Structures are given as C-alpha cells and as structure tokens.
C-alpha cells in the first residue's frame, strides 16, 4: 500500500490518500476522518522533512511505499 500526500495550500491544507488535513485557527492539524497509523506516520515524516523545512519554497507531492 502506498501513501500519497498532495499539497493543496502550502503550510495549511494537504490531502493524504483522499483524506483532507488542515490547520485550524490554533495551528493544530485537523482531519475529520480517521487516518491509519501508517498515514499518520507518513504525514508526520512529511511535516518534519518538507513543511517545517524553510528550504522548500513550494511543497511537493510525496508517495511513501510500504
């Protein structure tokens, strides 16, 4: 199973295998559907490597293979 993370709005909204995750007004990441453990882990990894990295000017689509 692969996990695809697609940026919709950098630093604000992303799609993970069809699940929408976004930042609320308090800067918490919110997802209205339940992410699997692997999707959650992949997003945390993406957040550390891409979202929090100031060298990335535009966020990229990423696919994590299991």
Q: Is the whole model's pTM more than 0.85, yes or no? A: yes
**What single string gives the DSSP state of each residue in 11-48?**
TTEEEETTEEEEE-TTS-EEESSPPPHHHHHHHHHHII
Q: Find tokens 């535009």 and name the residue.
A: 58
What is the residue extent of each domain of the chain?
A: 2-65
- Sequential pLDDT tens for the chain (66 residues): 799 999 999 999 999 999 999 999 999 999 999 999 999 999 999 999 999 998 888 888 888 886
Q: Which residues contact 44 (CB under 8 A, 6 or more apart)?
A: none
């Amino acid at each position: 199973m692969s996990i695809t993370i697609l940026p919709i709005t950098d630093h604000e909204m992303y799609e993970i295998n069809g699940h929408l995750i976004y930042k609320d007004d308090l800067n918490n990441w919110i997802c209205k559907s339940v992410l699997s453990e692997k999707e959650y882990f992949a997003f945390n990894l993406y957040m550390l490597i891409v979202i929090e990295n100031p060298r990335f000017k535009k966020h990229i689509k990423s696919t994590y293979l299991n």
